[in-house]
């Protein structure tokens, strides 16, 4: 694809807290970790610490045990039990935990920094690093913070509430981010606030991170218009959803370790990262063979499945429909899925599909409406999608759409053009150039241009 999507850091819970307790110790440890993750995302830190600690106890010696104890320490710290957190953290590093940078910059452990044992814990984790089987996930440097969607809250306010410093290492914490979102909603009376973090593994931005706070003011709550939350559990057609998840998990690990070939590709318009590595080669033939026969089953998952992770996988698999038109027909109804991760996948596939096409596959009004969605991961893809759609319109059709799109989207596109995160500003500038015929680059230039445009028809 001509545009580069950064890998967003997303933490999702899984599993059911009321499932029967498995007899197998490994399965029991996995179930406890899933229960802990659910508690973590619900900000129930007491239960989170207890469940992760139990998971660590259920695991034998090794990295899974050390990781569970590390997570337990983070939850205990967030629950206000600093002394208990330190003791669990000691056990984690004594058991081999080695990601010292993550430990040092993890905001969940900030309350422990002043305790006497802290420096020794960090030192022991660094000593473990020399014996690590593979490098840990790198800690990124924060290069930009954006605020979008609110007339009340600017970038400086977001940075202050979140306690972020440009040029400093940043570790993603879903729990801490949720706490900061709640603080902003309460302080400024927002209908919605969501933190997104994009990180880069390649090119000139390698090792950098950008944070955006997406907000909706109370008076703009109509922007939060989504499909109803699905409640069902349809069958996974031929296990394709599970296979996609396995592919994505392995792909992400290879990408983090720098082992994914840059020229890796796939046989359809969109597949995230290709299948060039030997560990990934077996997946695509299966998707090519099975997905065209299971479109109705995958549509049922998108429509009915309560687990957003499974809906997102089904959306990604729709890229393997036999025609671009079929892909679009199956995905377009779910542009307003209630989960931003699902919307992200829907729009990713639609964007890549339109990019590869030579004619318009979607209605311009549908895509323009998606540019108003609340999350940056919605807007950047919808805006890229709009650039490819406009490029495939005839000159006459583009001229007919121009004035209406400027009135509908002009202000939002100009605001996006001022954002620091390139994947949010660049598509907005591309659309502005298409609609205007001008070649400005800065937000100030585009704002001046917009001020010169007619405010109404005629």
211 CB-near residues (< 8 Å, 6+ apart): 142, 144, 145, 146, 162, 164, 170, 195, 196, 197
Q: What Å distances lie between residue 237 and 152, 314, 341, CA to CA?
A: 47, 10, 21
Domain count, the chain: 3
Considering only CA atoms, which of 82, 87, 120 is closest in space to residue 104?
120
pLDDT for the residue numbered 85: 97
Whether 285 maps to a domain, the answer reads: no
**CATH classification at residue 16:** 1.25.40
pLDDT for the residue numbered 12: 29
Whether 207 maps to a domain, the answer reads: yes
**CATH classification at residue 207:** 3.10.20.310
Is there a single domain that holds both residue 153 and residue 54? Answer: no
The one-digit pLDDT tens for each residue of the chain (458 residues) are 332 333 333 332 333 334 444 557 788 988 999 999 999 999 999 999 999 999 999 988 888 999 999 999 999 999 999 999 999 999 999 999 999 999 999 999 999 999 999 999 999 999 999 888 888 888 999 999 999 999 999 999 999 999 999 999 999 999 999 999 999 999 999 999 999 998 887 778 889 999 999 999 999 999 999 999 999 999 999 999 999 999 999 988 887 777 777 666 889 999 888 898 889 999 999 999 999 999 999 999 999 999 999 999 999 999 999 999 999 999 999 999 999 999 999 999 999 999 999 999 999 999 999 999 999 999 999 999 999 999 999 999 999 999 999 999 999 999 999 999 888 999 999 999 999 999 999 999 999 999 999 876 54
Over its C-alpha atoms, the chain yields an Rg (Å, rounded) of: 23
Which of 217, 240, 272 delimits the end of a domain?
Answer: 217
Whether 297 maps to a domain, the answer reads: no
Is there a single domain that holds both residue 149 and residue 125? Answer: no
Whether 310 maps to a domain, the answer reads: no
Is there a single domain that holds both residue 122 and residue 83? Answer: yes
Is there a single domain that holds both residue 12 and residue 120? Answer: yes
Whether 64 maps to a domain, the answer reads: yes
Which of 84, 105, 129 delimits the end of a domain?
Answer: 129
What is the C-alpha separation between 19 and 305, in angstroms, rounded?
A: 18
Is there a single domain that holds both residue 144 and residue 124? Answer: no
Is there a single domain that holds both residue 13 and residue 124? Answer: yes
Is there a single domain that holds both residue 98 and residue 199? Answer: no
Is there a single domain that holds both residue 147 and residue 116? Answer: no
232: which DSSP letter?
B
pLDDT for the residue numbered 23: 55
What is the C-alpha separation between 159 and 211, in angstroms, rounded?
A: 9
Is there a single domain that holds both residue 14 and residue 122? Answer: yes
Is there a single domain that holds both residue 85 and residue 183? Answer: no
Is there a single domain that holds both residue 27 and residue 111? Answer: yes
Domain that residue 412 falls in:
358-458
Whether 180 maps to a domain, the answer reads: yes
Tens of pLDDT, residue by residue over 272-323, are 888 988 899 999 999 999 999 999 999 999 999 999 999 999 999 999 999 9
pTM above 0.85, yes or no: no
Whether 162 maps to a domain, the answer reads: yes
Is there a single domain that holds both residue 80 and residue 148? Answer: no
Q: What count of Cα atoms within 13 Å lies in the side-chain half-sphere of residue 425? A: 17
Which of 129, 152, 168 delimits the end of a domain?
Answer: 129
Core vs surface per residue 256-287: b (16+ CB within 10 A) or e = beeebeeebebebbbbbbbbebeebeebbebb
Whether 174 maps to a domain, the answer reads: yes
What is the C-alpha separation between 346 and 359, in angstroms, rounded?
A: 19
């Amino acid at each position: 694809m001509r545009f580069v999507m950064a890998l967003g850091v997303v933490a999702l819970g899984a599993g059911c807290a009321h499932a029967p307790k498995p007899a197998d110790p490994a399965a029991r440890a996995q179930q406890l970790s899933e229960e802990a993750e659910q508690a973590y995302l619900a900000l129930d830190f007491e239960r989170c610490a207890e469940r992760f600690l139990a998971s660590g106890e259920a695991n034998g010696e090794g990295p899974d045990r050390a990781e569970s104890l590390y997570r337990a320490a983070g939850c205990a710290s967030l629950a206000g039990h600093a002394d208990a957190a330190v003791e669990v953290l000691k056990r984690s590093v004594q058991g081999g935990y080695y990601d010292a940078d993550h430990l040092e910059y993890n905001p969940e452990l900030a309350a422990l920094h002043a305790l006497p044992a802290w420096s020794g814990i960090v030192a022991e984790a660094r000593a473990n690093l020399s014996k690590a089987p593979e490098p840990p996930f790198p800690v990124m440097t924060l290069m930009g913070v954006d605020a979008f969607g609110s007339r009340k809250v600017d970038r400086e306010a977001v940075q202050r509430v979140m306690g972020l410093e440009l040029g400093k290492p940043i570790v993603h914490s879903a729990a801490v981010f949720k706490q900061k979102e709640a603080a902003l909603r309460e302080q400024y009376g927002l209908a919605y606030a969501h933190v997104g973090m994009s990180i880069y593994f390649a090119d000139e931005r390698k090792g950098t991170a950008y944070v955006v706070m997406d907000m909706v003011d109370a008076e703009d709550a109509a922007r939060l218009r989504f499909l109803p939350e699905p409640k069902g559990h349809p069958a996974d057609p031929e296990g394709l959803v599970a296979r996609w998840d396995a592919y994505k998990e392995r792909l992400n690990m290879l990408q983090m370790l720098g082992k994914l070939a840059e020229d890796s590709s796939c046989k359809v318009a969109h597949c995230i990262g290709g299948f060039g590595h030997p560990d990934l080669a077996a997946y695509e033939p299966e998707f090519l063979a099975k997905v065209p026969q299971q479109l109705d089953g995958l549509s049922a998952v998108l429509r009915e499945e309560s687990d957003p992770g499974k809906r997102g996988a089904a959306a990604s698999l729709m890229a393997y429909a036999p025609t671009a038109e079929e892909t679009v027909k199956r995905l377009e109804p779910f542009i307003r899925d209630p989960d931003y991760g699902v919307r992200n996948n829907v729009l990713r596939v639609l964007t890549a599909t339109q990019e590869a096409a030579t004619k318009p596959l979607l209605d311009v009004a549908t895509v323009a409406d998606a540019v108003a969605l609340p999350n940056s991961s919605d807007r950047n893809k919808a805006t890229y999608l709009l650039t490819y759609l406009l490029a495939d319109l005839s000159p006459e059709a583009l001229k007919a759409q121009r004035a209406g799109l400027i009135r509908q989207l002009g202000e939002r596109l100009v605001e996006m053009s001022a954002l620091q995160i390139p994947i949010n500003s660049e598509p907005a500038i591309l659309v502005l150039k298409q609609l205007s015929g001008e070649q400005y680059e800065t937000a100030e230039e585009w704002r001046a241009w917009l001020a010169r445009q007619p405010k109404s028809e005629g």
